[in-house]
Amino acid sequence: MPGSRYNPEIHHRRSHRLKGHDYAGGGLYFITICTHRDAGNIFAPPDVREMVGRVWESVANAAAVGAGLVPAQGTHKGCPYVVMPDHFHALVWIPVVGAGLEPARSLGDVVGAFKSLVVNEYIAAVKSGKWPRFPGKIWHRNYYECIVRNPEAERKIGEYIRMNPWKCIAYFGNGMRGIGNPALLNCPKIGVLCSRKIPPCCNLEPPESNDVFIGGFHSPPEKQILERLLERGDRIICCPAWGLKGMHVPEEWLPALEANRMLLLEMKNPEGDLAAAKERNMFVMQSADQIWVPHATPGGMVDRLMGGMDVGRRIML
């Protein structure tokens, strides 16, 4: 019926698209697609998240390389994406119209195909009894897009996408919360403590071990040790000297977080002063099964803490 057709003056739906921009004319875009409010955290289960990622890769590749063409630079492999429990972020490259790709596809074509295929696969899994039914719709009706105009913007957005999962702070009980893999808390742990000033001959090479290394990694020598642990691919619990809210996670930590080899654990006292440093070091010593101390300056904080605690049998030589 003509009266039931969409009328922007009546329904007040506003387009997020930039007026005058040709979305089939090529370019790089940052998109965000949210799930419907009734669907909640529908993408939280790992197997659902894997399905959404697989569908996105197939759709993004099809848009980037065209039908029947050999994969080229600019496919999803160079454009990061992330599936969150209730939304999806991605960088997507759309080829230039007239570049020999038939048929030309717009950003809307890509997003529409992706959303449709995800719904179809989820429904098929529901019918087979693999996944539970969902109320209402899976996707919000619209999506958000930003035109990426230069390499610096692409770099910053790519970092934001990669960081998105690690902005979710989880609570572990006993007032503790963290970012990363909480299962590391249940593994055998080696505490790392080192005074700020070390002699030239001090060996900072961490011992070879399958245990998890835990420490504040705040002093300059401890930072060098952390760099080495990250380089070697060890499992790490880092207790930073600041709170997690609004924390900028260094980019070099991301591979360890993405591989579930790292946990950032917030201390109860995140002030960053000497009192907080003492509490943090005591927490490391109490949590560790063994303690590795490359150097303790006589009379310094580490030396005094070791003297005041029964740690002699747990020191690694």
- Cα–Cα distance for residue pair 182/167, rounded to 1 Å: 15
Q: Where, residue-wise, is CATH 3.30.70.1290 in the chain? A: 2-167
Which helix (H) or strand (E) covers residue 237, if one does? strand 236-238
What is the per-residue pLDDT for 314? Answer: 61
Per-residue pLDDT tens for 123-147? 999 999 999 988 889 999 889 999 9
- Cα–Cα distance for residue pair 163/262, rounded to 1 Å: 14
Per-residue pLDDT tens digits of the chain, which is 317 residues long:
344 343 444 434 444 555 555 555 568 899 999 999 889 889 988 899 999 999 999 888 876 554 333 333 333 445 889 998 889 999 988 876 654 544 557 888 899 999 999 999 999 999 999 999 888 899 998 899 999 989 999 988 888 888 777 667 777 666 678 888 888 888 999 999 999 999 999 999 999 999 999 999 988 999 999 999 999 999 999 998 887 777 778 888 988 988 889 999 988 877 767 888 888 899 999 999 999 999 999 999 888 888 766 555 566 65
Q: Which two tokens stand for residue 221?
A: 């020598």
Q: Give me the CATH topology for the region 170-316.
A: Rossmann fold (3.40.50)
Q: Give me the CATH topology for the region 2-167.
A: Alpha-Beta Plaits (3.30.70)
Phi and psi at residue 237, to the nearest 5°: -115, 115
Q: Where, residue-wise, is CATH 3.40.50.450 in the chain? A: 170-316
Tokens 């970012």 sit on residue: 179
What is the per-residue pLDDT for 251? Answer: 82
What is the per-residue pLDDT for 6? Answer: 35
The sheet carrying 27-34 orders its strands as 81-83, 87-94, 27-34, 144-148
